[in-house]
Amino acid sequence: MSHHIHILGICGTFMGGLALLAREVGFRVTGSDRNIYPPMSTQLADSGIALVDGYGAEQLDTRPDCVVVGNALSRGQPVVEAMLDQALHYTSGPEWLGRHILRDKWVLAVSGTHGKTSTASMLTWILDHAGMAPGFLIGGVPGNFGVSARLGKGRYFVVEADEYDSAFFDKRSKFVHYRPSTLVINNIEFDHADIFPDLTAIETQFHHLVRCVPGTGHIFCGPGEAIQRVLNRGCWTAVTPLAPAALDGASSWGWCWRPLPVEGAIGDRGGAQGTVWEIRSPEGEGEILQWPMLGEHNAANATAAIAAAGHVGVPLGDAVAALASFKGVKRRLELLGRPAGISVYDDFAHHPTAIQATLAAMRAQPTSGRVIALIEPRSNTMRSGEHKEQFALSAADADCVFWYEPPGLDWNLGHTVGSAAGQEVFSSVTAMIERAAAMAHSGDSIVVMSNGGFEGIHGRLLTALSER
């Protein structure tokens, strides 16, 4: 019988992807989660992976060879207590991935507060387009692949390298288990207020990541003082910066990007015109990227992916050609529909910087319609109020902003954003939907911003607009 692993918290994107990889290499896989839910539950069931709803102790009666523990699990949960009492072998998801999947691979890791999923998806598509058949594990679903993970057939493996902790017994960031040879650090800001006390603590974890990159590897870094502080603590690997060409000297010392006029831009990712950029290498070689993705933040992500792909031998021209057919990522400014001529998007906003980047990208498009944002501050950091003074400013590029104040906040969202022009606070998702559906006109764009389900607002809004 094949080696049996049981995964606790299996329906998360990371753990579900890990389960698919384990199944692909021959392990017998089972798992559990609280409130089993699609789409991951459907993907797992289709792969023959048996699922248990909840964290009861009885699920360990089969005595698995190894229990892989998700970081949502903690002491006191029956399955965790049973695992410890029975002295079962256990490990974290990132450690299992590092030991069983990544050990003999050339790992290309994409890290940073923002842009990890998009950049990792772009990098994977570039390598695949170049015939390298890479494996990957990404915290989202790239449109070019339709799944969040696969083993691949070649030497290369792309992993989204998250700074969140590994498990209740391993408080190191996930990414220290991956040991990449090619590392991207897009940016570093304060996030995950539930586990990090301050930005310095996050920088320490990134320093640990840098310590793991071999001298023969390469690090590609976006701009910012936090990244520079991390590198100043010690770096034993060649570093190449990534920066907009507008920064003095960028074109001569690193990879850079600059916007070009949009006339003739191709593509349509929700009715908005695509954008055109020049991507330039440190050697001065330049190529024109013409694609349907919106915003400078995506140009930065593209440059990072192109640079990382170049480290493993993909020429700049080939990388740019691949990205011309990049289909985006689920929940990253994804067009859900256009009822009554109103474009409705879903965006995985988890931080004020991400909100600002998305809305700036939408505002930059040539359109006569309004931008209406419906925002749920759902991430642990946003709920904590850590960045609450930035909320109103982060959404300033929208014409109208409806904030949802979820129950349980120990601070008043209305006091924070209520006085900003065009911004309102709602305590009811139903009321938000009714207001948005009543005010939107053909040509407008509505973007729903949350890193959760937002009480099913996406489908409900589409229905309300269709029935209007």
Cβ atoms < 10 Å from Cβ of 146: 10
Instruction: Indicate whether 350 and 233 sit together in one domain.
Output: no
pLDDT (mean) for 17-25: 94
Whether 64 shows a pLDDT value over 90: the answer reads yes
pLDDT (mean) for 134-159: 91
Which of 277, 293, 323 finishes a domain?
A: 323
Pairwise CA distance, residues 423 & 400, whole Å: 6
Instruction: Indicate whether 318 and 354 sit together in one domain.
Output: no
Instruction: Indicate whether 71 and 168 sit together in one domain.
Output: no
Q: What is the chain's Cα-based Rg?
A: 22
Query: What mean pLDDT, rounded, does the chain reach?
Result: 87
Q: What is the CATH number of the domain that holds 461?
A: 3.90.190.20
Q: Say which residue, 350 or 391, is predicted with more confidence.
A: 391
Going by C-alpha positions, the residue among 28, 26, 7, 4 that lies closest to residue 18 is: 7
Tens digits of residue pLDDT in 359-392: 887 777 766 688 888 988 876 666 665 666 777 7
Query: What separation in angstroms does the CA of 293 have from each of 151, 177, 270, 275, 329?
Result: 27, 32, 10, 7, 10
pLDDT (mean) for 273-298: 85
In a domain, 202, yes or no: yes
**Three-class SS state of 47:** coil
pLDDT given for residue 458 in this prediction = 87
Q: Say which residue, 130 or 154, is predicted with more confidence.
A: 130
Instruction: Indicate whether 373 and 308 sit together in one domain.
Output: no
**Which range marks the domain in which residue 65 is found?**
4-92
Q: Using the 8-state DSSP alphabet, how is residue 68 labeled?
A: E
Helical H segments across 174-295, by residue range: 199-211, 225-232, 250-253
Instruction: Indicate whether 120 and 268 sit together in one domain.
Output: yes
Tokens of 44: 């797992």
Q: What is the CATH number of the domain that holds 121?
A: 3.40.1190.10
Q: What is the CATH number of the domain that holds 53?
A: 3.40.50.720
Contact predicate 80/130, CB 8 Å: no
pLDDT (mean) for 299-317: 96
pLDDT given for residue 262 in this prediction = 62
% the chain with pLDDT above 90: 49
For the entire predicted model, the pTM comes to 0.81
Tens digits of residue pLDDT in 35-51: 776 667 788 888 889 99
Q: Say which residue, 82 or 444, is predicted with more confidence.
A: 82
pLDDT given for residue 84 in this prediction = 98
Whether 219 shows a pLDDT value over 70: the answer reads yes
Q: Say which residue, 42 or 436, is predicted with more confidence.
A: 436
Backbone φ and ψ for 6, nearest 5 degrees, come out as: -120, 125
Instruction: Indicate whether 158 and 118 sit together in one domain.
Output: yes
Which of 92, 114, 130 finishes a domain?
A: 92
Given pLDDT bands bounded at 50, 70 and 90, which one contains residue 310?
A: very high
Given pLDDT bands bounded at 50, 70 and 90, which one contains residue 251?
A: very low
In a domain, 97, yes or no: no
Whether 327 shows a pLDDT value over 60: the answer reads yes
Q: Say which residue, 373 or 180, is predicted with more confidence.
A: 180
Q: Say which residue, 248 or 172, is predicted with more confidence.
A: 172
Instruction: Indicate whether 80 and 106 sit together in one domain.
Output: no
pLDDT (mean) for 409-425: 74
In a domain, 455, yes or no: yes
Given pLDDT bands bounded at 50, 70 and 90, which one contains residue 267?
A: very low
Least confident of 78-82, 310-314, 349-353, 400-404: 349-353
Instruction: Indicate whether 304 and 157 sit together in one domain.
Output: yes
Which of 323, 345, 367 finishes a domain?
A: 323
The number of folded domains in the chain is 3
Whether 329 shows a pLDDT value over 90: the answer reads no
**Three-class SS state of 276:** strand
pLDDT given for residue 274 in this prediction = 53
pLDDT given for residue 100 in this prediction = 95
In a domain, 349, yes or no: yes
In a domain, 328, yes or no: no
Contact predicate 372/440, CB 8 Å: yes
Contact predicate 392/423, CB 8 Å: yes
Helix or strand holding residue 175 (H, E): none
Given pLDDT bands bounded at 50, 70 and 90, which one contains residue 132?
A: very high
Instruction: Indicate whether 398 and 418 sit together in one domain.
Output: yes
pLDDT given for residue 133 in this prediction = 96
Whether 65 shows a pLDDT value over 60: the answer reads yes
Given pLDDT bands bounded at 50, 70 and 90, which one contains residue 62?
A: very high
pLDDT (mean) for 16-27: 94
Contact predicate 271/368, CB 8 Å: no
Instruction: Indicate whether 114 and 235 sit together in one domain.
Output: yes
pLDDT (mean) for 55-66: 96
Given pLDDT bands bounded at 50, 70 and 90, which one contains residue 115?
A: confident
In a domain, 221, yes or no: yes
pLDDT given for residue 313 in this prediction = 97
pLDDT (mean) for 332-357: 82
Instruction: Indicate whether 127 and 219 sit together in one domain.
Output: yes
Instruction: Indicate whether 113 and 259 sit together in one domain.
Output: yes
